[in-house]
Structure 1
């Protein structure tokens, strides 16, 4: 979930091309929570930006974890000041923007496999 539609579209295309299914796309924290609640089955992995309208990614992640504690969340953000806080809160990974599409796909695949890459 990212607040920039072009970035979200690019992530969606590269993940789909890499055979990684996408349950939904959201453009802000509140939308992400609503869509997560409505998903059946729940996504196992969520890609989350930190800076989003209405609610930041860390707040949205904590609400998602209340719904489904086993959800693995990968943060992708230019705001490296939240890296430690995100990882301490339970994020599976933190990717610093700008990141290559290859790096994002590799990290998602690592998290899918339960690895720390």
Structure 2
């Protein structure tokens, strides 16, 4: 998966990048929100579709914070998956709903590198699918987007709920 990471702390950015690349992901980095939007716009102009499986934004960055970067990215591509990394989860959640008109995913800082990987790779969604007897490996082989996986899980939940009496 291609991932765009934006964080103003170079050591964290390097750790995230190394861990994700070790897992086979392709990572593009930015040290602030402005550079992140520029990198996103450049990649989107080339592909005209979701250029990244996920965009991970530090909420508090210089030049342009994560919320403003998310606004600009979502203006370019409303279906882009955004994950905020923030120590202020409550504030981030309220701000994102109010300003972005959609709920984004959140990672509360500090978080482990494994938490970052699990979030990006949809571990919780795949765990829930496994509980519903879905052949997860076959699903992964189809290389679905995060939105497709989430929609599939939601549909299965509705079916399961309708069968419960």
Scaled by the length of structure 2, the TM-score of the pair is 0.63
What count of residue pairs does the alignment treat as equivalent? 115
Q: 2:25 aligns with which of 20, 24, 41?
A: 20
| Max Rg structure | 2
Distance 1:78 1:47 in 2: 14
Unaligned runs of 5+ in 1: none
Question: Which stretches of structure 1, 4 residues or more, deviate above 6 A after TM superposition?
Answer: none
Quote how far apart the aligned CAs of 1:79 are.
2.1
Distance 2:59 2:37 in 1: 14
- Cα RMSD after superposing both structures: 1.9
Q: State the alpha-carbon separation in 2 of the partners of residues 13 and 19 from structure 1.
A: 10
Rounded to whole Å, the distance in 2 between the matches of 1:91 and 1:49 is 16
TM superposition shift of 1:85: 2.4
Identify the structure with the greater helix proportion: 2
SS in 2 for 1:52: coil
Determine if contact 1:78/1:97 at 8 Å carries over to the other structure: yes
User: Deviation digits for residues 69-91 of structure 1, max 9, x if unmatched?
Assistant: 11100111112221232256335
CA distance in 2 between partners of 1:46 and 1:28 (Å): 13
